[in-house]
Structures are given as C-alpha cells and as structure tokens.
Amino acid sequence: MLFIDYSSAFNTIISTKLRTLGLNTSICNWILDFLMGSPQAPAYHLVLEGILILWIIRLLFSKTYKLQERSDLTEKEKEDLIEEWQPEPLVPPMSKDHPSLNYDIVTGPPSHKIIVNGKECINFASFNFLGFLDNERVKQKALTSLRRYGVGTCGPRGFYGTFDVHLELEDRLAKFMKTEEAIIYSYGFATIASAIPAYSKRGDIVFVDEAACFSIQKGLQASRSFIKYFKHNDMEDLERLLKEQEIEDQRNPRKARVTRRFIIVEGLYINTADVCPLPDLVKLKYKYKVRIFLEESMSFGVLGEHGRGVTEHFGVNIDDIDLISANMENAVASIGGFCCGRSFVIDHQRLSGQGYCFSASLPPMLAAAAIEALNIMEEDPVVILIWFRFFIFMYDLVNKYFQIDSYSAVKSVIGEVYAPALHLQLERSSGSRDTDVRMLRSIVDYCLERQIALTLARYLDKEERFLPPPSIRVVVTIEQTEEDIEKAASCIREAALAILK
Amino acid sequence: MSIIISSCSRLPVLHIICELLVRAHVPSPEWAHSLYAVQHTACNGSSGLGLYSRPFIESFEETPMLVAVLTYMGYGILTIFGYLRDFLRDWKIERCHVAREREEQRDFVPLYQDFENFYTRNLYMRIRDSWNRPICSVPGAKVDLVERVSPDYNWTFDYTGKVVEGVINMGSYNYLGFAENTGYCADASAEVTMKYGVGVASTRQEMGNLDRHEEMEELVAKFLGVESAMAFGMGFATNSMNIPALTGKGCLILSDELNHASLVLGARLSGSTIRVFKHNNMQSLEKMLRDAIVHGQPRTHRPWKKILILVEGIYSMEGSIVRLPEVIALKKRYRAYLYLDEAHSIGALGPGGRGVVDYFGLDPRDVDVMMGTFTKSFGAAGGYIGGRKELLEYLRSHSHSAVYAASMSPPVVEQIIASMKCIMGEDGTTLGRDRVQQLAENTLYFRRRLTEMGFIIYGNSDSPVVPMMLYMPAKIGAFGREMLKRNIGVVVVGFPATPIIESRARFCISAAHTKDMLDTALSVISEVGDLLQVKYSRHERLIYDQIQD
C-alpha cells in the first residue's frame, strides 16, 4: 500500500518568513501545525476525494436537467409535426353492396297495401298495428289542423311553440292512461332518451334488462349513471343485483341515502317480442325501494283491454310505475312520443328534458292526428278485441309453420301470444353474421316477389350493447285478413325451404 | 362542471360569490354548459386577413358597471328571499304548491335533491308566465294567444277561454314566413296528407323509406350545393344521433363554448375528447388545434385520429355569425374536419337563402358536414346533413336515426320540398327570393332602429336573431308582460340560458313582418324600454354608417 507522507511535504517552509509577513506567533504556529502535523492518508483516499470534488464541480457548472423535454419543441419542429400529421378520413370507406346501404323504396303511402321497389305487396313490416296510418278520420283531422295551424311550429315549447293542440293531447294522454300528467316530445326516439338523464345522474344506479332497446341505451349513456345489466326477463338475476347493492349500501349508508336507483324495462320488448313480468318487478320495487321506468312503445295501444299497455294487461296499478314512456309512431301511427306518470315526476322534464326544452315542438297536425287516434281507441274498444283474435290466430299459425315443422330451418321467436311484431331467426346460424343476414335478406326478397312485404330487423352491430341475432321482423296489423296472414306464413316457409336447403 | 366564467372581469369577487350562490341551485349543469359565457369585444371591424368579402360587424357592448352591481344585488335579494320562503314552507307557515312524493314512496331515495329545484321554485316561478304561452293559430307574423291567468302566482294556470288576437310575433323562428296555412306550401302539404297519411310507422332502413323522402333529399343536396344529403325527423336528434357516427374514442372535438345543447350531447355521446374554445374566437381555436396536433392525446401522446370542429352558423342567444372564412382557413391548414350547424342560418342568410356559406360567398364543399334544420326558415320540422357522397353513404348505414327512429312524416316532407323549391325559384315565382331579401332588409332596419334608441343589442348586424340586453332578473318578467300587454309577443331569456348577469330579450325578425308591424313593435319596445329603463347603451354607434359606405 502506498502512503504519502504529508509531514515531509512542507518541511522546507521557513517559518521565519511567515513572521516577517507580520503575522503573530500563534497564527504562524497554527499554520505550520496544520501543514506539517497532518496524519498520513492513503493515496486511494485522495484519488477518491479528488474525483468527488471534480464531480461536484461538474454538477455545479453543467446545465440544469429538464423534465419536460417537449416544451423544447421549436416552432420549426411544431410546424413539422403539424405538416406530418395525417388524420383518418372523416368516415371509413364503404363497400357499395353494404347490406344497409341500399334502402327499399316505398312508392305511395306505407299502408296495408304497399308498393315496395315497384311491386305491390301486403305490408307485414310497418308498425301500423291499428291501421290508423290510412284511417280517413285521422287524415281528415290532420288536414283540418293543417288548415288552421300550418305545418311547423317554428319554435320550442318555451318560445311560442306550445299550441292548444299540444295541451289537449297531453291532457288526453294523461286521461287515457289514467295518470296525473303527460308530456309530449316531438320525436319518439328522443322521449325515453331524454327522460332517463333528466332523473338519473352521475353516481346513480340503473338496473336495465339486457334486451333494452337502443334509445334506452342512449339515454343511459347520456345520464352517465352506473349501469347494471340483468339477464333478459330474469327476475332472479335482477334480485341478485339488487341484493348485492343492498349489501353495498349497508357498507356505506351515507352514500346510499343520496344514490337514486332505477329499474328500466320495456313493456313489450321490440328486440325479443316478449312481455316484461311487471307484477314481479313491482314487488321488487317496493322490496328494494327502486323506481321503475317503463318503455311502452310496442305495447301502447296493443296490450290491455283498452290498449293502455302492459300495466292494464297485468292489472298493475299505474301509480306504482314511476314513469311510462311510449312513442306515438307505432300503434298511434303519428310522430313523436310521450311520458306519463305522477306530476311530481313528470313535471320535472319540462325544464330538464333536453329533447323537450331544446327542440322544436311537435307539428300541431301530428298532435291532432294522435288525438283522433286516441278518440277511436276510446270509442271503439272492439278494435283491440279484433286485434286479440289476430294474435291467437298468428300464434297458432306460427306454431304450425315454424315451430313444429322440422323441415323449416327458420325458428320463430315468439315469447308471448300477444306480440304483434315477432322475429324469425335462423334455426342454425352459419357462423357468420354477414352470411346469416344475406340468407335472411334472400327470404325477404323472395317474399317481396310474391307480394309479401317483410323487413329485416336492423341494428347497428358495433353500437348495440347486446346485439340480438339477425332476424326477419313480421308485423301483424288489424288490417290484414286471415288469408293474408296464412299466405304470408306459407310464403315465408316456402322461401325458407327454397333458400336454406 | 366545465363552466367558464368570463363575463365582466371588473368584479371578480362579487361575480363569483353570486355565481356560486345561484349555481348551487341549478338543476343540471348541462343546461348551462352549452349556452354559457360570452366574449366582450367592442365592435370588431372586418378581419385583417382579407378573407371576408363583406364587412363583418359584430358588437357586444360591455355591461355598464352600475347595472352589473344592481343585477348582482337583485339576484342576492332573490336568493335571500328564496331561503326565507323555503324556511317558511318547511315550517308550514307558507303554503307549499310543489307536487309531493306519494306516501308509499316516502322512504325511497328522494328523486330530487332538496336544493336542486331552488332556482325553479324561487326565481323561475315568479316570472314563469313569460314562457310556454300557448298559441292557437299559425305562428306567423301575427299570432293568437290563449289567454291564461294564474290564481296562485304562477304555480298553476287557468285558461279563461278567451283568445288574445293579433299579437305581433317577435318570438317564433319564422325567418322566411313559411309558417302558413294557405298558399303553395300548405296546399301541397294538404294533398300529401290525404294521400299518405301522417305517419310512417317504420324506420328508414326498414320499411319507412318513401319516394318523397328520396325526392326531398335530392332537393336538399341541390339547394346546399353538396353531393348528397339526408334528412332526419328532429333537428336536435340530427346532431345528437349523427355526431357519434362520425367520431369516437381517440378523436378530438373542438366545440364553440356557446354551441347548442344538441351538439354538446352529440359530442358527449360520441365518446370523443371534447375541448371548448372561446366563442367565435379564432385565436383560441387555432391555439387548440396546434396544441392538439403537436401534443397528441393526453398521457399516451398518440396522435389524434381526427379532429372535428363544431360551430353554428348563427348563435341563437348571441345573434353572432360564425367567422366562417377564418374557420375554413384554419381547418384546411390543420387538416381538421368542420361540422357546421346551420339551424338558424339556413334560409335566413345569404343572397340565395343558402345559409352562412352563401353569405360569405364560400364553397360548400369546404365544409365537411353541413347540418341544418327545417324547423325554422322552412316552417316544417326535422333536420338534415349534407356533404360528400362517401359521408352520406356512411351515415345512411350508420346513423342512429336511420336505423332506430321513425322516418319523417310525409306532409312535413312536402312542406320542406315546397318551401325549398320556392326559395330556389323552382316554383316559377320570385316569391322565395323576395322573402330572403325582405328578411335582410327587415333585419338591418330593426337592428338600426333599436341601436338608435339606445338599447344594447348583441350580435352581427346581418343576423335576424336580435338579442336586446335587460340584465336584471326583475326586468325579464316585466319586459315580457309589458310587451304582451301592448300586444307584442317577445321571448325573454335569463340564467341558465345566458350568463347570470346577461338576461335579455330576443327578437326574431321574419320576412313576413311588414314595415308597419316593425314600426309598431319598435315604438312599443321604445315605450317599454323607457318605462323599465333598459336603454343602457352609452355608445354613439357608427357601425351602420360603415355599412352604408
């Protein structure tokens, strides 16, 4: 090991010279002591210290290290980045033969007899359940209204867009449904989609059936609430979720006191053609203190002795349902939608329903048409009775043609006897949705050739939360005769045999 | 809550206190978002960029200091009284008119938080009679109102059965006067009603694609000067159901802070990132565009998939017109896409009534998505989207509206076809063109006279939407009532549709207004203006002289 002897490093200093510099004795002694009395140090120590000192000097004089490199971008670099950036096209390219690109063209009114792509057919596709679409009384009423009010309303409800007809229609709907209040929207889709976010906010919890239609899904998305899906019409699954929530609530009672909960179901599901078990839902409502919103677009005017929908069908007290929403575009064959219920609930939408506040109101002639349709429904409950006979007939027929017949590769989905719009699905999927859709489309085309107008049920494949399997939707209306229905059923069967075999 | 507080910077503390006081009681912040805040610029001359073919004159006179203070005090007093009365209601000293929850559901989680309806209960309820006035005639230049009285200070209304006839209508968006029950359009519509009925009972993609729809869409495309167009049953839904088809995750939406609720909802439903730029402020927009491209998505720094700019043609609460030439220049420079909502401007602007693009003499192909409504100028209902063929083909198959919502009512479609043909001169008359011109003249005249009278008027000199500032909450109701007493129907708006201190009245000029009607209205406005002391303007304006130069 190498040692450096410090004591001899400065031994040539002449101490007297220091004194002549004018320093006093004690300081001189201290300096000499310091220089010559140092202990011996190992060389590596010195090297290490030297390196350390150099390092410190380097740190002191080097530039400060910057965390945010990106703020160093020069204008030039920014320009380059901007030049470089290539956005995706506004819309992705589409193939010309996309199945939903080319619409069928209806020439003339879409009533019982309908001209589709130039071919006169019997209409099994429009939701014109009660035949009000080409009802002379309804048309006449609309015409009278047009001659009085013109077509458009030129404003939202708040700003001179409220017509006496709107007030009358709201009043009539409330009376018809036996509720305190009703509110009308100018667009069916916007009705439930606006109603949900008016009540359910961020942090609230909504229990929804998996088969819920698209407008409910959009309403939920707009509400930003916490969404829990339960299996379609499965009350046990719903109860399981409610119980889970109950346990969660016990853990955090303070939060539970301000968290609103809702169950949102459809009366008659458009996607599955079956009815919700409303009495069970009402029981669960009171057991777990959850509010029920019921979407009745398919069941209004269809179910119940007077067409009041699923509440009448089951004999459930309508006050037990917090909010009922339906559109007037199916059975009523007009445009728009409404919500009804207790004033405590409904009135809130007049300032909070976005589709109500921020949109032009319903053209008065369409409201007048809806009033006349309600008049007919009230005067003539027979309409609904005839209706019912049809259900039974259709149900039998479907059984006869599609469920029992093992040759047919088309399976019917008919949850209930009462479904006026039923879905025909493929018994065995080919494995590819596109091929399935194409096959079903061939069946539709085959029937169109033979004067039966059908349609595929359309969905946005990527947007649906739970995409239903592809299907042909068959709509029964009051205007079809038994022969029409028989003809349609046999035609579909024929087509299925011809195309699927 | 992404609300921008930008008005009247002179009184920040007072402002914020009052904002907080009142805002705490507003039902939903969504209400406020879209319609909020304003840019206080004095009269801007035409832009230095040389992009404008005509003078671009827009004014937002500053709120006078004293008025601002008094307005805040007004809200303060209302709030204090609100608390007092809530207290009295709680102790059952004052009768409570609010609908109650039913007994069976008392132990449910309350449907509304207690404070949620404070504003409705204590402020809105005092002046509720100024809104939702029912009418019983065509919403034309003159309108008949159903008379109503309130026995309990606006909690409920009784209809007396009488009709207030011949009220001059300054409230409806009947810009070109096509709200009519006789004449070419109404006749065409009547014929279709009897032939087709009123409903369709199916969606466009299923069995609701009528020949009339196709004809209308071709006409709309021709009118707009675009390759293709598609119509939807509701103007609001045109925005909220189509924007999600255009952008999604990883895309950026740059939205004007005063955009309509439908655009805000559409943007939110799309799942894209939303950034809000200052109203009609091109510096703010450009900065956001640059930052977005340079920095990419937050955290991941991946480049944005695409950037969509959302603007409106005429902003319905400010009366301002979008600085479209500059927006287009920016959009081209930064390769963003442009979505232009012409709800109020289509029909109402431009020599051919073709909206804001026509007004500035621009090429409609420079706007990627041309959206508008039929509710206003065309006297019908619904909305449209026009643009390149690829865009429309995509929407035809992917628009939420085409797949899930009922298609448009045939008589409404016919009204659109007829009125549009009329504007285009295809009916063989110059009636439509005359109306467009009449509207422009009426607008200039009305705006000039109001300014001369000393009112503070917001917006662009060519905009038929004319907001007149009232400021104080008590004057909202008073102005509405006094005008109606003198047989003029006006729209008044306050918080949350406007910033808290900027309550205003809004006049919508129509081509159907005759000079006499406008003069009557103006003299009444002046009279009521003196009565309520709302002639706030302190400027001697020269802008109208500029126009004449």
- Tens digits of residue pLDDT in A294-317: 999 999 988 888 889 999 989 999
Check if B316 is active-site: yes
Residue B406 to residue A189, Cβ atoms within 8 A: yes
The structure tokens listed for A443 are: 């069946």
Residues B215, B210: Cα–Cα separation, whole Å: 9
User: What pLDDT, on the 0 to 100 scale, is given for residue B23?
Assistant: 43
Query: Cβ of B181: how many Cβ atoms within 10 Å?
Result: 18
Residue B521 pLDDT > 90: yes
Asked if the peptide bond before residue B496 counts as cis, ω within 30 degrees of 0, the response is yes
Task: Categorize the per-residue pLDDT at B357 as very low, low, confident or very high, splitting at 50, 70 and 90.
Answer: very high
| Mean pLDDT of the B101-118 span | 86
Q: Is A221 on the interface with B (CB under 8 A)?
A: yes
Give the helix ranges, DSSP H, for A62-163. Answer: 75-84, 136-149
A362 CB neighbours in chain B (<8 A) are: 381
User: What pLDDT, on the 0 to 100 scale, is given for residue A303?
Assistant: 85
Greater confidence, B18 or B444? B444
| Mean pLDDT of the A286-300 span | 95
Q: Is A195 on the interface with B (CB under 8 A)?
A: no
Check if B295 is active-site: no
The residue from B376, B400, B475, B513 that is catalytic is B376
One-character DSSP codes across B172-187? S--TT----SSSHHHH
The structure tokens listed for A147 are: 């001659």
Least confident of A464-468, B15-19, B267-271, B520-524: B15-19
User: What pLDDT, on the 0 to 100 scale, is given for residue A304?
Assistant: 84
Residue B17 pLDDT > 50: no
Residues B472, B502: Cα–Cα separation, whole Å: 8
A238 phi/psi in degrees, rounded to 5? -60, -45
User: What pLDDT, on the 0 to 100 scale, is given for residue A406?
Assistant: 38
Task: Categorize the per-residue pLDDT at B326 as very low, low, confident or very high, splitting at 50, 70 and 90.
Answer: very high
Check if B279 is active-site: no
CB A280 within 8 A of CB A288: no
Residue A403 pLDDT > 70: no
The residue from B130, B316, B401, B461 that is catalytic is B316
Residue B289 pLDDT > 50: yes
Residue type for position A462: K
Residue A400 pLDDT > 80: no
User: What pLDDT, on the 0 to 100 scale, is given for residue B320?
Assistant: 95
Residue A151 to residue B199, Cβ atoms within 8 A: no
- The per-residue pLDDT for range B144-153, each reduced to its tens digit, is 999 999 998 8
User: What pLDDT, on the 0 to 100 scale, is given for residue B456?
Assistant: 94
How many angstroms separate the CA of residue A187 from the nearest CA in chain B? 6
**Beta-carbon contacts of residue A255 (< 8 Å; ≥ 6 apart):** A249
Residues A387, A391: Cα–Cα separation, whole Å: 7
A127 CB neighbours in chain B (<8 A) are: 201-202
Q: Between A88, A159, A455, which is nearest B491 by CB?
A: A159
| Chain A interface, best mutation among B138, B175, B207, by max A CB count within 10 A | B207
Query: Cβ of B400: how many Cβ atoms within 10 Å?
Result: 26
Task: Categorize the per-residue pLDDT at B36 as very low, low, confident or very high, splitting at 50, 70 and 90.
Answer: very low
User: What pLDDT, on the 0 to 100 scale, is given for residue B232?
Assistant: 96
Tell me the count of A-B CB pairs closer than 8 A.
372
**Beta-carbon contacts of residue A226 (< 8 Å; ≥ 6 apart):** A203, A204, A205, A206
Residues A25, B2: Cα–Cα separation, whole Å: 78
- The per-residue pLDDT for range B358-401, each reduced to its tens digit, is 999 999 999 999 999 999 999 999 999 999 999 999 999 999 99
Least confident of A30-34, A64-68, A138-142: A64-68
DSSP three-state, residue A185 = strand
User: What pLDDT, on the 0 to 100 scale, is given for residue A42?
Assistant: 74
DSSP code, position B138: -
DSSP code, position A230: E
CB A280 within 8 A of CB A230: no
Residue type for position B397: S
Between CA A75 and CA B62, with CA B329 as vertex, the angle to 5 degrees is 90
Residue A327 pLDDT > 90: yes
Residue B202 to residue A125, Cβ atoms within 8 A: yes
Residue type for position B193: T
Task: Categorize the per-residue pLDDT at B18 as very low, low, confident or very high, splitting at 50, 70 and 90.
Answer: very low
Task: Categorize the per-residue pLDDT at A67 as very low, low, confident or very high, splitting at 50, 70 and 90.
Answer: low
Residue A335 to residue B181, Cβ atoms within 8 A: no
Residue B209 to residue A106, Cβ atoms within 8 A: yes
B398 CB neighbours in chain A (<8 A) are: 460
| Mean pLDDT of the A264-286 span | 93
Greater confidence, B10 or B55? B55
Task: Categorize the per-residue pLDDT at B215 as very low, low, confident or very high, splitting at 50, 70 and 90.
Answer: very high
Residues A13, A29: Cα–Cα separation, whole Å: 12
* The residue to which tokens 């005839």 are assigned: A386
Task: Categorize the per-residue pLDDT at B40 as very low, low, confident or very high, splitting at 50, 70 and 90.
Answer: very low
The structure tokens listed for B3 are: 């609300």
| Mean pLDDT of the A69-83 span | 81
Residue A356 pLDDT > 80: yes
Q: Is A109 on the interface with B (CB under 8 A)?
A: yes
User: What pLDDT, on the 0 to 100 scale, is given for residue A43?
Assistant: 79
Residue type for position B330: L
Residues B359, B350: Cα–Cα separation, whole Å: 4
B101 CB neighbours in chain A (<8 A) are: 344
Residue B547 pLDDT > 80: no
Task: Categorize the per-residue pLDDT at B115 as very low, low, confident or very high, splitting at 50, 70 and 90.
Answer: confident
Least confident of A8-12, A50-54, B50-54, B221-225: A8-12
Q: Between B133, B369, B411, which is nearest A151 by CB?
A: B411
C-alpha torsion sign, points B185, B186, B191, B194: positive
CB A307 within 8 A of CB A377: yes
How many angstroms separate the CA of residue A266 from the nearest CA in chain B? 16
B174 CB neighbours in chain A (<8 A) are: 154
User: What pLDDT, on the 0 to 100 scale, is given for residue B44?
Assistant: 41
Please name the residue of chain B whose CA is at the shortest distance from the CA of residue A366. Answer: B198
User: What pLDDT, on the 0 to 100 scale, is given for residue B174?
Assistant: 95
| Mean pLDDT of the A52-67 span | 81
Decide the pairing of beta strands A291-295 and B383-387.
unpaired
Q: Report the mean per-residue pLDDT for chain B.
A: 88
Residue type for position B101: E
Task: Categorize the per-residue pLDDT at B280 as very low, low, confident or very high, splitting at 50, 70 and 90.
Answer: very high
> What's the pTM value of the predicted model, to 2 decimals?
0.87
The structure tokens listed for B80 are: 């204090």
Residue B139 to residue A111, Cβ atoms within 8 A: no
User: What pLDDT, on the 0 to 100 scale, is given for residue A390?
Assistant: 63
User: What pLDDT, on the 0 to 100 scale, is given for residue A501?
Assistant: 67
